[in-house]
Chain A
Amino acid sequence: MEVEENLQMMADKFEIIGLHVRIEEREILKGLDLTISKGEVHALMGPNGSGKSTLANALMGNAKYEVTAGKILMKGENMLEMTPDERARKGLFLAFQYPCEVPGVRMSNFLRLACNARAGRELEVMDFYSKLEEKMKFLEIDEAFMKRYLNEGFSGGEKKRNEILQMMMLQPEFAIMDETDSGLDIDALKIVSRGVNELRGPDLGILIITHYERILRYINPDFVHIMVDGRIAKSGGPDLAAHLEEHGYDWIVKDVEPVAAKGEK
């Protein structure tokens, strides 16, 4: 019975254990631990250069980011052995800080291919389009959007809304949102937040990476973590974010002992 319970628990968790990551010989993450359970929203905050985006990229499997130690487990499975597309098909999603443009690839074609990949089968065309239409309405996205090329010529706000649309269509089990709020005006931020709140529920664990507390006024996190110099320096409840808003990052940065990079010990 106990084994089954353990398996059940693992099935609901995304675990980052002692993660070390380097880019071009420079160690950025220096032993990061974080566990996200389904149904939870975690906010990861931190000053510029603390390694937030590195974490997002490493979790999704960007080959430029080399994991030198530690583990990433999703539902108990070792993510480090998987390519980004395998991770995505298993239910991981990353909303990019800077979604890139892919000229000549139509939004509708791309989304259909991605949804089929995630589902592991060819979805009924009618079902796909009716779901798409519903989600687009919800995010106040114009129909003409689907005929455009993937992110090409999109405004900053359109790109971010597109990320949320993809997230709604792909129905991940764990989602990482990398500074989705940056560069958004208040109306766009509200729409994006509405999308995330709509998705929020017992089947999804969310990690919101942000520099500012602003987005957390619209999406209430269950937990807030502060990242400094490649590690989680402090964890707490929603009040931690409010405290940061008031006092900035300085007080906590001062508290943290600089960590010797791996290999320099």
Chain B
Amino acid sequence: MSTASDQLLRGQYKEGFHDDLKIVHKVPKGLSHDVVDYMCDVKDEPRWMRDFRHRSLDLFLKQGLPAWLPGLRDEIDYNEMTYYVSPVEKSARRWEDVPAEIRRTYDKLGIAKEEQKLLGGLGAQIDSEMAYHNIQETLAKQGVVFLSCDDGLRQYPEIFREHFSKAIPPEDNKFAALNSAFWSGGSFVYIPKGVKCDIPLSVYFRINAEQFGQFERTLIVVDDGAFCHYVEGCSAPVYTTNSLHSAVVEIFVKDRARCRYTTIQNWSTDVYNLVTKRAFLYKSAVMEWVDGNLGSKRTVKYPSCYFMGEGGHGEVLSLASADKGMWQDAGAKMVFYAPNCTGRINSKSISGHGGRASYRGLVQVNPPAGNCRVQVNCDALILDERSRTDTYPTMEVDGDLATVEHEASVSNVSEEQLFYLMSRGVKKEDAVSMIVNGFIEPIVKELPMEFAVEINRLINLQMEGSVG
């Protein structure tokens, strides 16, 4: 029995259903330049984008996997995947205009129009395209732009072209190239100078198709002195075959601006989640990545802060939970090109039921960067002997006056703590869940309330029966 259906049987993955949706666009399976052309035609894209996509596909086909990345070599059959599937013609601005069957899918996932009341904006992607994207009027009036990435290209061609692929070029890595060739959907966000967008902009990504590749592309520009909080969640049905999710997220945090990007990744355990996320920080900018990885078969993702201007501050709070059949290869990167910057990485991982959690991190201080400080903390909790955790920190310091601190710990749920809690009448499984939730508390407390509740729920499900 596959681990995914096993998980479904245990009733743990409530998002594991799939719906039979009417498909508007679908290309034949496999990678080809024909698929690229088909997508460009459907999307009616400018010439430069068509050229960019073709060039990216060539790069993907040429490029090998990075030497440091274990596995994946023969695991994914790229020609068995379908690269563009859409059950919608275009992104709706009104919830009523979203096809009823897709609205039903989102209702089942608990993403309804009502939720929008608490949010600055809501987006919902299904397979290759955004089914819905809308923003509160008050924010729109201040000039905040929140669109699907495709609409961003159409409606704001200049801002789009100025930033697109500038933080993550297709040459960066094989999966960035793959995304660059087949990207579709994702968000385009622009926050004008000085505008504080205090309520989160939220996007939900759903894969419904089987053996499918989702390549959302997100571009966020937070202009001078502005603020935005972008939140994303995701899920997929449980199939017996594998799917691929390979996103590229580029963020530009301009002078004195601040951006927080929160992810709760909960793909089913047949999804390969290979994502490149990078933020460029300009003068005195602040970037915060809050990265929660709770699902997927294999995640490879290291949200990065590239310090391009003086005095920036970057944080990555990373939380990974590797259950049966999962390998969370998560971490962070801090790359300094400017002086007087500070960075902090705080990573916590849990592995249980034979799951594997890896922390992989890079701290790189380049010559123009002086007086930089980075603090790295990674703590791992292992729930049983079958599970595994490892840490791969890389430090490359080529600058004056850089302070780099790295601390790591590995622990088990201690018998002493269990006995103490149980001696107060707390049942063993509740005691384990208290200890595990306590372990991740420093990160969970940074999350918006509803996400914190969801994380605790998911962690508790994964805990079931994990300590014998």
Contacts and interface: CB of A to CB of B under 8 A. Distances in A.
Given A85-B426, A88-B422, A117-B424, A103 B438 contact: yes
A94 interface: yes
Contact of A99 (B415, B420, B431): B420
Nearest to A88: B425
A83 B422 contact: yes
B144 to A, nearest CB: 36
A145 interface: no
A96 interface: yes
A110 interface: yes
A105 interface: yes
Contacts, number: 78
Contacts of B431: 85
A84 interface: yes
Interface string A71-112: 000000000000111011100011010011011110001100
A166 interface: yes
B440 interface: yes
B323 to A, nearest CB: 20
A61 B415 CA distance: 12
A102 B438 contact: yes
Given A100-B417, A104-B440, A104-B441, A85 B435 contact: no
B138 interface: no
Contacts of A114: 424-426
A100 B420 contact: yes
A105 B425 contact: no
Interface in B393-446: 414-417, 419-428, 430-431, 434-435, 437-442
A243 interface: no
Contacts of B430: 113, 117
B423 A104 contact: no
A85 B425 contact: yes
B440 A63 contact: no
A217 interface: no
Nearest to A119: B425
A63 B415 contact: yes
B426 A113 contact: yes
A60 interface: yes
A89 B425 CA distance: 5
Given A96-B423, A114-B424, 12 more contacts: A85-B425, A85-B427, A88-B422, A102-B438, A104-B439, A110-B434, A114-B425, A114-B426, A118-B425, A149-B438, A149-B441, A170-B424
26 contacts: A63-B419, A64-B415, A83-B422, A83-B428, A85-B426, A85-B427, A88-B422, A88-B423, A89-B425, A96-B420, A100-B414, A100-B416, A102-B420, A103-B438, A104-B438, A104-B440, A104-B441, A104-B442, A105-B437, A113-B434, A114-B424, A117-B424, A117-B425, A117-B427, A118-B424, A170-B424
Interface of A: 60-64, 83-85, 87-89, 93-94, 96, 99-100, 102-105, 109-110, 113-114, 117-118, 149-150, 166, 170
7 closest A-B pairs by CB: A104-B438, A104-B441, A117-B425, A88-B425, A114-B424, A105-B438, A84-B422
